[in-house]
Chains A and B, each alone.
Chain A
Amino acid sequence: MGYLDKKKTDELNKIKRERKIGNLDSPKNPFDYYEREYGTVPRDTERAPFQWVSEVAYKNVHRIVARGYDTTELMEEGYGVIEVLFVDYQARIPTVEEGQMLNYVMIMALEDGLSAPAAISRMVARSKTFLTQACGASIMAFGHAYGAYSAFGNCLEHYLDRVDKGEFSLEAAAELLVKENRHDEALGVSGLMLKDPAAKRMIARAEKLGVAGKYIAFTKEIVKAAQNAFDEPVDLDMLGATGATMMDLGFTPEATWAILAVTRSFAAGAHYIEEVEREESSRLGQQLTPIEDYDGPADRPVPPLSDRNKYAKSAICRTPDEWNTRFEEMKKVRGSGFRIVEEIQDPSKKSGIKKVGKL
């Protein structure tokens, strides 16, 4: 379509200028509203046209190729999911031992009882929707506390970088990491696996297969440091064991996060199925919330609309002190969000593909 021609544009703008539209002609606006164009931006012929850019895979009518390998040929040669994960994320075929280790990790990551991914999947299932939506939703359970593989791995990398730069020894790095992150859910050391040997067995398997490397070594130091620093008993947990093992297999923290979240999603699918098979659907308005669970304001009459000014309380704060007072007051209102302070960061690490698309 492109921009509307000048004559029509001028006609439309003239009518609008004469009619006036709210505050759009205010001199405070950094533009003359009635000089604006209509229609869509014309095609850009100065730059290469848009294409889906990927270094992971391509396909044509006859082939699907990941990192140079035809995926059908990969299967015909006897490879499977385990190997394609190395291909997609690391552009390489794994050694037999690496493949065996990833297989082990994925079995361990598959199921975790009625924890968050399964619970979310079941909740979605109750609204009578597609299985795929429940599986997708379950993946969103993986954050920076539950299944915090990205946070854990990036934390390891941060301190190991400093070791590499000669700032301190591995042992000192582990001690500092524990000191600076002792309350972080992504520490990889906790009291969760004191009676379950699964985490330690995973590390033992990695060592037996000869795939244990610097991340497992560092994680062991972190365990030691945490055991010295904490009053209560702690040990390596599944996050630490799995995260360190995956990174020794060459996966980045983000790749680890994605692979293990998706792995769990298979089981979330089974939970969806069982929920549909064994439980009923939920209808809008069906679920009650017992008053015993409620600790908000007591029941009160709705003031007449005509008395709004008598009851209404403005949120406008004219000074920082007023602002601070209100902020502190609002912290008492659970669910208002004032008790949460967080930084919404860009989780990506780089931006832009300058090498792609030059005409």
Chain B
Amino acid sequence: MNREPLIRRKTAISYKTEEKTVMRGYNLSELAEEGYSFYDAMFVLFQNRIPTENEEKMLKYEMGVFLEHSMSPSAVGAIGVSAGRPNLPVCVAAAVSTFGGVHGPGAAHGYMLNKYLERAQKEGKTVDEMAKTLVDEYMDAGRPVMGMGQPQHIDSDPRAEPIHLRQEELELEGVYLEFQRALEKYFHARRKKEERSYVGVNVVGSGNTALMEIGFSPNAGWCIGSVVRGFSCAAHALFNMKRGRAWGASRNEPMVQMIDLSMIKYTGPEDRIVPKQEAQQEYARKQKEEGEYKKWVI
């Protein structure tokens, strides 16, 4: 059996021999045998270190609370893919891939905090001052402030403030929490001043703050958040594969299905005659001249 690696790379993450698998210098078996937790292993993987007990507790809380979120883009993605009945991992892959610029944008939040913290350091401003600068710059530009607002949990994200509180209880308050708390303060104040509705902190705003505080980079934090959601999305896909109807369009189910034909609402151009090919050139030129098509271009 050929046991050569699929690709050759210099790597500082791990090596694997016939005798053992070693991650950042630690034999995985020994790490598990010693009683370290999976959360500890995350610190070893991404930060090359064993965390303090409280850091481990914080990560446990954050990952656990983020794991399940019922119907979000990630779960819906997994369920949608499962309708065609591919292998289960494909559904999970799709779910994790839904995390982008809007759904769980952990890295974007992290980069935002880092950018303004760097400015605070260079410009000699306090964290509080720089948080106000961030809020003003974002809101003046009409840009959404990362980590604020959630389209379903409109009062406030049920996970968000408890994460902040746990971080404080575990005495893991550092520059990130100070920044995030100040950001929220100025964000709320400005919206209030502008007589706009209350928009609470979301799980990225609080959870990613905690992740950054306990030493994860923006992308490592994003990885942890996005991938842990994959666990629950797999459960949702599996439920639909085992109990739901394939294709999601059956007329024999008592409930109208996800892609039943009646679920389609069309708002495009009206039905029209396909031009004969002999008339194509003239037809196409006229269509371009009239330009009505432009309003449909996406």
Contact = CB atoms under 8 A, between A and B. Distances in A.
Interface string B230-273: 11101111110111111000101111111011111111000101
Contacts of B197: none
Contacts of B17: 195-196
Contacts of B10: 278
Nearest to A278: B10
A137 B260 CA distance: 29
Interface of A: 1, 4, 12, 15-16, 19, 21, 38-44, 47-59, 61-66, 71-72, 74-76, 79-85, 87-89, 103-104, 106-108, 110-116, 119, 122-123, 130-133, 135-143, 150, 190-192, 194-198, 201, 205, 252, 254-255, 257-259, 261-263, 265-267, 269-275, 278-279, 346-354, 356-359
Interface stretch (B61-69, B124-132, B174-182, B282-290): B61-69
Interface stretch (B88-96, B111-119, B137-145, B187-195): B88-96
Given A4-B271, A140-B93, A273-B219, A348 B241 contact: yes
B242 A348 contact: yes
A269 B85 contact: no
Interface in B1-39: 1, 5-21, 23, 28-29, 31-33, 36-39
Contacts of B159: 64, 71-72
A128 to B, nearest CB: 13
30 contacts: A16-B273, A39-B271, A40-B261, A50-B257, A52-B76, A54-B71, A59-B69, A62-B153, A64-B68, A81-B231, A108-B32, A110-B45, A111-B14, A113-B11, A113-B15, A139-B230, A143-B87, A190-B1, A196-B17, A258-B235, A259-B231, A265-B227, A265-B230, A266-B224, A348-B85, A348-B241, A351-B244, A351-B245, A352-B243, A353-B255
B38 A136 contact: no
A112 B6 CA distance: 12
Contacts of B36: 107
A112 B260 CA distance: 43
Contacts of B267: 1
B100 A130 contact: yes
Contacts of B246: 346, 348, 351
B217 A85 contact: no
Given A258-B235, A271-B11, 12 more contacts: A39-B266, A51-B255, A71-B159, A72-B65, A80-B61, A81-B38, A81-B231, A89-B238, A112-B14, A131-B107, A132-B98, A254-B238
A92 B207 CA distance: 26
A56 to B, nearest CB: 5
B54 to A, nearest CB: 13
A83 B253 CA distance: 34
A358 B254 contact: yes
A89 B45 contact: no
Given A72-B162, A106-B38, A191-B1, A53 B9 contact: no
A258 to B, nearest CB: 3
B212 interface: no
B256 A55 contact: no
Q: Which 8 A-B pairs have the closest CB atoms?
A: A357-B255, A269-B223, A258-B234, A113-B16, A136-B97, A348-B241, A80-B60, A41-B261
Contact of B71 (A41, A52, A103, A114): A52
B186 interface: no
Contacts of A104: 32-33
Contacts of A348: 82, 85, 241-242, 246
B238 A84 contact: no
Contacts of A271: 11, 13
B154 interface: yes
Given A131-B107, A270-B220, A114 B266 contact: no
Nearest to B255: A357
B71 A42 contact: no
B70 interface: yes
Contact of B97 (A41, A72, A133, A192): A133
Nearest to A74: B64
B172 interface: no
Given A48-B256, A64-B70, A71 B41 contact: no
A347 B87 contact: yes
A140 B237 CA distance: 15
Given A52-B76, A132-B100, A347 B239 contact: no
Contact of B28 (A55, A80, A89, A198): A198
A131 B89 contact: no
B273 to A, nearest CB: 6
A254 B252 CA distance: 27
A52 B256 CA distance: 11
A356 B6 contact: no
B265 A198 contact: no
A131 B222 contact: yes
B42 interface: yes
Contact of A114 (B7, B28, B32): B7
A85 B38 contact: no
Residue with the highest number of chain A CB atoms closer than 10 Å, among B37, B241, B255: B255
A12 B273 contact: yes
B254 A111 contact: no
Nearest to B234: A258
